[in-house]
Amino acid sequence: MSSTTPEETAPYGDGTAPGPAPIKRVRTHHLRELKQRGERFSMLTSYDQLTAQIFDEAGIEVLLVGDSASNNVLGNATSLPVTVDELIPLTRAVSRSVTRALVVGDLPFGSYQASPEQGYLTAARFMKEGGAHCVKLEGGVEMVPQIERMTRGGIPVMAHIGFTPQSEHALGGYRVQGRGEAAERVLRDALAVQEAGAFAVVMEMVPGDVAAEVTAKLEIPTIGIGAGNQCDGQVLVWQDAFGLRTGRMPRFVKQYADLRSVLLDAARAYDTEVKDGSFPAAEHTF
Ligand code: KIV
């Protein structure tokens, strides 16, 4: 039996301040606190139960049920065609499957741009029917009325500026935004969405030095995708990051795995064994 008590072994602590408590359930205010402490966080897309569980277990703070489901799950060429009714069941699958991550519902093209009222009603559906903890919308200065309406109505909003895929045709294709004099526009958009009440802002395809300046000027966290490494967080589409999708990738994507090859090999092995009669074997048979 030990004769010393914990007080005797460390009567005055070890001289360091106690660290912040671990985050049990990520809330929007935690992202701001991480920024204030200079700690980075990660975000991935997820559109289904099993990836949501895996990414949550891995410690990814934010899961985005992106409108990129359109061209990663639903077979479309771009994110434009996906509808609210298609995205809500995916959002519900993800929100039901996490225990820690913050789940972001992505408002699809045409579901919020018409008016603040339209935006509020769509966002409310993502929260009520999809179980999202917050929503994301694309746009800067022009989205201020929508962001104000949603936040006033109790819906936390993540903004998305720089290259905004829903405006691909208006922006003249996939292009870096904010080069040269256009840097001012990115900063103006970032300050406007912060002022309107957004709790975080995604910056897509923005030069690294511009994103760094915006990150330093904002109180809310920035989340980069093709915006260098000075943002407070980073986001990638999971099929890009883990190699389920292959082929030409934007320069900002890093592939951490080659899931396509793993699945292709497994599917071929299964196909061979079914056809040569070696599956199912005795141990798979009742
Ligand atoms: O829908 C999506 O996947 C996104 C990310 C690229 C930020 O908006």
Q: How far apart are CA 158 and CA 274, in angstroms?
A: 48
Residue 140 near residue 111 (C-beta atoms within 8 A): no
CB distance 278 to 264 below 8 Å: no
Cβ of 61 below 6 Å from ligand 1: no
pLDDT tens for 172-213 read 888 888 888 889 999 999 999 999 999 999 999 999 999 999
Q: Which tokens belong to 253? A: 């994507």
User: What is the residue type of 214?
Assistant: V
CB-ligand 1 contact for 28 (6 Å cutoff) = no
Whole-number pLDDT of residue 7: 42
223 lines ligand 1 (CB under 6 A): no
**Low-confidence residues of the chain, pLDDT below 70?**
1-17
Residue type, 179: R
pLDDT tens-digit series, residues 42-51 = 999 999 999 9
Question: Which atom in ligand 1 lies closest to the alpha carbon of residue 72?
Answer: 3
- The answer to whether 136 is a known ligand-binding residue is yes
What pLDDT does 17 receive?
67
Please tell me the predicted confidence (pLDDT) of residue 176: 85
Q: Does ligand 1 come within 6 angstroms of the Cβ of 237?
A: yes
pTM (predicted TM-score): 0.93
| Mutation test residue for ligand 1: of 136, 164, 236, the one with most atoms within 8 Å of CB | 136
Residue nearest to atom 1 of ligand 1 (CA): 66
DSSP secondary-structure letter at 109?
A: T
Catalytic residues: 204
For residue 157, which phi and psi values (nearest 5 degrees)? -120, 130
* Test site for ligand 1: of 107, 126, 158, 160, most ligand atoms within 8 A of the Cβ: 160
CA 217 – ligand 1 centroid, Å: 23
Residue 69 CA, ligand 1 centroid: distance in Å: 9
Q: How far is the CA of 68 from the centre of ligand 1 (A)?
A: 6
DSSP letters for 153-222: TT--EEEEEES-GGGHHHHTSS-----GGGHHHHHHHHHHHHHHT-SEEEEES--HHHHHHHHHH-SS-E
Residue 66 Cα to ligand 1 midpoint, Å, equals 5
Q: What is the token pair recorded at 102?
A: 């913050």
The structural domains of the chain, ordered by start, are 28-278 (3.20.20.60)
Q: Give pLDDT, residue 1.
A: 40
What is the per-residue pLDDT for 18?
A: 73
